């Protein structure tokens, strides 16, 4: 009996009896179809149809004004020689590289600070999460005011500390603008990472740490050997969210620099926006968007695959 059971459980899927499963998968009860129908309809109308429509647009010249003409793969072929787009890709990758790790490290540090149930932790969580709640748009407008030479708080504080003379024009210099925007984003977004990691930390059984204490493990050893390994999935999710957000960065750059000075801070989405709504070339812009969607999907898949592979 036990031999039969072992044989059954170790048998390959192909050799298993499939009648019942085939019946349940390919001929589901009508009620099941009815239950998923609204969701399927929503996805079809609001995701698939626009995606197909966008794909169609990307094979035309589709100006916002004027005649639409089918152009085949012209929009896709010309991407390779579009220097503005290629520059924006490089800048977006640089920006992503700059902000991703600090967001994770700061988010982790904040999570360590607020994960316990001691007094004041809730207040700290709220304070650290507040910038994320306020949102990047509002933060960007505040930063726009506070970065003004001679009058903004950032310059006044730096002048008071004797670091600068208070006249720094942050937003008319590419590296300075990138530093300012990166700093603002790290501050504004790490609250979300904190929240995600904190939830993961609180889910780790207390007994694991008690056992480590008995073995004489230090705080650092516990973080390195217990917390981080057990948070791998949460860290991966935080990274995916952070990287996608950086690859699709738009709001903060639109408000603060609009891609300038020159094209020093033009991100991919900002460039696509300008092709669509400044140059009024929706066909070319949509082709760029399609490429971006594919790239972001691939990057995300690779990230998830890497984590899954290690498990």
Partner 1 sequence: MTTSRRGFLRLAGLGALAAGLPACSSVLPAPDTTAPGFGTSATGTVRVWCRAATQDGLTSLVDRFNASQDRLVVELTPIPDVQYVTKLATVIRARDVPDLVDIDDINSLLFVYRDAFTDLTDLIADLGYADRLSPGHLALATVEGRQYAVPYLADCSVLFCNTRLFERAGVDVDEATTDLDALRDAARRITALGGDVRGWTFPGNDQGTLGFVVQPHVWAADTDLLRGEVGAQRGNVVGNEAVARTLEFYRALWVDGLVPPDAFADDGSRWGADYQAGRIGMIPYNYSTVVLDSDPEIVADTAVRLLPGPDGGRAFFDGGDNMCIPRGAANASGAWEFVKFALDLPQQSALPEGGFTPVRSDVATPEFAARYPLVLPPLQAQDEGYAPQTLAYNEIYNQPDGPWLAMFRRAVFDGEIEAAMAEAQTGYDRILRQAQA
Please report, as ranges, the residues that interact with partner 1 according to CB under 8 A: 26-27, 44, 48-49, 52-53, 56, 61, 63-68, 83-84, 148-150, 167, 169, 171-172, 257-264, 266, 274-275, 277-281, 284
Name beta bridge partners: 70: 60
Closest separation in Å from C-beta 52 to partner 1: 6
Closest separation in Å from C-beta 146 to partner 1: 14
Q: Which is nearer to partner 1, 238 or 257 (CB)?
A: 257
Q: Which is nearer to partner 1, 239 or 284 (CB)?
A: 284
Q: Which is nearer to partner 1, 10 or 26 (CB)?
A: 26
Pairwise CA distance, residues 227 & 296, whole Å:
29
Closest separation in Å from C-beta 11 to partner 1: 28
Of 290, 281, 286, the C-alpha closest to 57 is 286
Phi, psi of 245 (to 5 degrees): -60, -40
Closest separation in Å from C-beta 149 to partner 1: 5
Closest separation in Å from C-beta 96 to partner 1: 19
215 three-state secondary structure: coil
Helices (H) and strands (E) in the chain, counts: 17, 0
64 three-state secondary structure: coil
Closest separation in Å from C-beta 279 to partner 1: 6
C-beta of residue 114 within 8 angstroms of C-beta of residue 198: yes
Pairwise CA distance, residues 252 & 184, whole Å:
9
Q: Which is nearer to partner 1, 98 or 284 (CB)?
A: 284
Closest separation in Å from C-beta 57 to partner 1: 9
Q: Which is nearer to partner 1, 66 or 162 (CB)?
A: 66
Closest separation in Å from C-beta 298 to partner 1: 25
Pairwise CA distance, residues 37 & 34, whole Å:
5
Q: Which is nearer to partner 1, 48 or 160 (CB)?
A: 48
Closest separation in Å from C-beta 167 to partner 1: 7
DSSP string across 154-211: HHHHHHHTTSS-S---GGGSHHHHHHHHHHHHHHHHHHHHHHHHHHHHHTS-HHHHHH
C-beta of residue 201 within 8 angstroms of C-beta of residue 117: no
C-beta of residue 248 within 8 angstroms of C-beta of residue 94: no
C-beta of residue 254 within 8 angstroms of C-beta of residue 139: no
Q: Which is nearer to partner 1, 63 or 183 (CB)?
A: 63
Cα 275 to chain centroid, rounded: 23
Q: Which is nearer to partner 1, 91 or 132 (CB)?
A: 91
Q: How many CA atoms lie less than 13 Å away from 228 in the CB half-sphere?
A: 11
Q: Which is nearer to partner 1, 42 or 52 (CB)?
A: 52
């Amino acid at each position: 009996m036990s031999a039969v059971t072992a044989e059954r459980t170790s048998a390959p899927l192909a050799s298993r009896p499939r009648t019942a499963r085939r019946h349940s998968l390919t001929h589901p009860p009508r009620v099941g179809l009815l239950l998923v129908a609204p969701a399927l309809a929503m996805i079809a109308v609001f995701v698939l149809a626009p995606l197909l429509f966008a794909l169609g647009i990307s094979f035309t010249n589709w100006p916002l004004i004027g005649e639409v003409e089918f152009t085949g793969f012209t929009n896709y072929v010309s991407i390779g020689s579009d220097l503005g787009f290629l520059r924006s890709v490089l800048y977006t990758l640089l920006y992503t590289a700059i902000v991703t790790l600090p967001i994770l490290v700061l988010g982790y540090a904040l999570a360590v600070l607020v994960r316990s149930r001691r007094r004041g932790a809730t207040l700290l969580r709220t304070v650290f999460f507040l910038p994320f709640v306020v949102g990047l748009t509002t933060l960007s407008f505040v930063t726009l005011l506070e970065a003004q030479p001679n009058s903004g708080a950032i310059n006044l504080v730096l002048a008071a500390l004797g670091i600068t003379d208070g006249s720094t024009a942050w937003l008319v210099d590419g590296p300075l603008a990138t530093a300012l925007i990166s700093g603002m984003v790290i501050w504004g977004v790490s609250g979300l990472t904190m929240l995600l990691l904190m939830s993961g930390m609180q889910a780790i059984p207390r007994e694991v740490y008690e056992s480590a204490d008995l073995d004489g493990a230090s705080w650092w050893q516990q973080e390195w050997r217990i917390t981080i390994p057990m948070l791998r999935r949460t860290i991966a999710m935080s990274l995916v969210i952070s990287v996608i957000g950086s690859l699709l960065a738009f709001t903060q750059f639109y408000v603060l620099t609009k891609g300038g000075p020159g094209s020093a801070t033009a991100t991919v989405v900002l460039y696509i926006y300008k092709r669509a709504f400044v140059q009024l070339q929706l066909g070319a812009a949509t082709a760029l968007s399609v490429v971006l969607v594919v790239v972001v999907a691939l990057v995300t898949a690779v990230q998830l695959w890497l984590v899954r592979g290690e498990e």
